[in-house]
Amino acid sequence: MGRRELSIGLIGSGFMGKGHALSYALVGRVFDDLLAAPRLRLIADRDADTARRAARELGFEASVGHWRELVTHPEIDIVDITAPNHLHSEMALAALTAGKHVYCEKPLALDAASAATMAEAAREAGVVTMVGFNYLKSPAALAAKGLISAGVLGEVWHFRGAFQQDVLADPRQPFGWRFERSLAGSGALGDLGAHVIALAHDLVGEVKQVCAQASTVIGERPEALGGYGYREVAAAGTALRSVENEDAVQALLTFEGGATGVLEANRVATGRKAHLTFEVSGSRGAIAWDHERMNELQLYDSGDPADRRGFKTVIMGPDHPYYGRFWPVAGCGLGLGDTKVIEVYELLQAVAQGRPARPDFRSGAAVQRVVDAILESAQQRRWVAV
């Protein structure tokens, strides 16, 4: 029997939109139990010419001149949103109203109120939603979750997480939408820290209270003359614009279950590339992970003999979640794009089976509540309840 077909409508063809398109193209080749095959039906972008070019380059059957044409198109089953942050809410709500399943990149919205509205609309629509926290899908993060759930660490005491990059550390990097509060919302926190919060929720539980500080290190940036996103360029002597959100944030956390933690997000961390890390420690052991070495999980077991205690490196292999779908032997390694393939697989399976995906809009709204609380705490310089 052939697979059911699900028509995809993608909004946005930047680096993340390209990543989604490649994942749809690969998912059926990686997962032989895929219940629904994706059909790359429509793509929309910031203008009709860009959309037409993207359709040719990414393998979509057709393009449309405006995203509203896409979300209301009768053939589209899943609306996939990779547009800038400020458009997520309007696009998703329109898609939900049209009865479409929705796959949206993070952050879900600019603020917790908008995210809550989206989550409630998804519940009322009764459709499948997913938010693009793809680091949750790495075999190591999934293995860590399994170890914690199995009680290998004992009672969880502490979480430490950080996401640091130097992609915006150059003061000559032009002013783009990521620096404008009305378009991006928060800065490093929503862009990078949201991933840390999602991991914290998945591994430890929901955050209860926060105490934070935030700073903008590079206060002004030159106006962009061309390009888009990370590819924007500026010429010498270009007028400067004030950056409206934070470059770095640090926060103390308390969790509903009693654990404590710390979080850091930094988009100007000189020398750091994709330094997403977490460490979870408990009464019997600890685990640690660094995305730059994403196929290794560090595990400490206090039950080891005293003369052999210490973190050991567990290399990801076919015995770990999803790894064996890609490679039959340990140590070959997966990459960031593979986590997107896994994410797309879980989305398509959920739609085909009529069950919720994870993380859904409700999970995305929970992350946004923590983001808002951290920003409020940094502004008021006090502990804030989530």
Report pLDDT for 65.
Answer: 86
Q: Is the domain of 205 the same as that of 327?
A: yes
Q: Is the domain of 113 the same as that of 147?
A: no
Q: Is the domain of 240 the same as that of 341?
A: yes
CATH number at residue 172: 3.30.360.10
Query: Which residues lie across from 328 on neighbouring strands?
Result: none
For residue 253, pLDDT over 60 is answered with: yes
Mean pLDDT across the chain, nearest whole number? 96
CATH number at residue 75: 3.40.50.720
Q: Which amino acid is at 1?
A: M
Q: Is the domain of 106 the same as that of 178?
A: no
Minimum mean pLDDT among 73-82, 219-228, 263-272: which range? 219-228
Report pLDDT for 238.
Answer: 82
Report pLDDT for 237.
Answer: 75
Q: For residues 102 and 175, what is the distance between their CA atoms, to the nearest angstrom?
A: 30
pLDDT digits (tens, 9 = 90+) for 367-384: 999 999 999 999 999 999
Q: Is the domain of 153 the same as that of 123?
A: no
Q: Is the domain of 258 the same as that of 243?
A: yes
Q: Which of 134, 158, 188 is the last residue of a domain?
A: 134
For residue 1, pLDDT over 60 is answered with: no
* Burial class of residue 82, CB neighbours in 10 A (0-12, 13-18, 19+): buried
Q: Is the domain of 298 the same as that of 259?
A: yes
Q: Is the domain of 128 the same as that of 141?
A: no
Tokens for 333, please give them.
Answer: 């390694």
Q: Is the domain of 37 the same as that of 181?
A: no
**54 Rama class: left (phi>0) / alpha (psi -120 to 50) / beta:** alpha
Percent helix, strand and coil across the chain, each to the nearest 5:
40, 25, 35
Which residues 6+ apart lie within 8 Å of 183 measured at CB?
84, 85, 86, 177
User: What angle, rounded to 10 degrees, do the helices at 88-97 and 112-125 form?
Assistant: 20
pLDDT digits (tens, 9 = 90+) for 74-102: 999 999 999 999 999 999 999 999 999 99
pTM: 0.96
Q: Is the domain of 300 the same as that of 374?
A: yes
Q: Is the domain of 28 the same as that of 80?
A: yes
pLDDT digits (tens, 9 = 90+) for 165-202: 999 999 999 999 999 999 999 999 999 999 999 999 99
Average pLDDT value for residue range 292-304: 97
For residue 357, pLDDT over 60 is answered with: yes
- Work out how many domains the chain is built from and give that number: 2
Q: Which of 109, 134, 159 is the last residue of a domain?
A: 134
Q: Largest Cα–Cα distance in the chain?
A: 67
Residue-range definition of the domain harbouring residue 67: 4-134
Give the closest residue to 112 by CA, choosing from 234, 207, 2: 207
Q: Which of 91, 116, 134 is the last residue of a domain?
A: 134
**Res. 227 pLDDT band, cuts 50 70 90:** low
Query: Which residues lie across from 212 on neighbouring strands?
Result: 251
For residue 210, pLDDT over 90 is answered with: yes
Higher pLDDT among residues 88 and 223, named by residue: 88
Q: Is the domain of 265 the same as that of 370?
A: yes
Q: For residues 18 and 48, what is the distance between their CA atoms, to the nearest angstrom?
A: 17
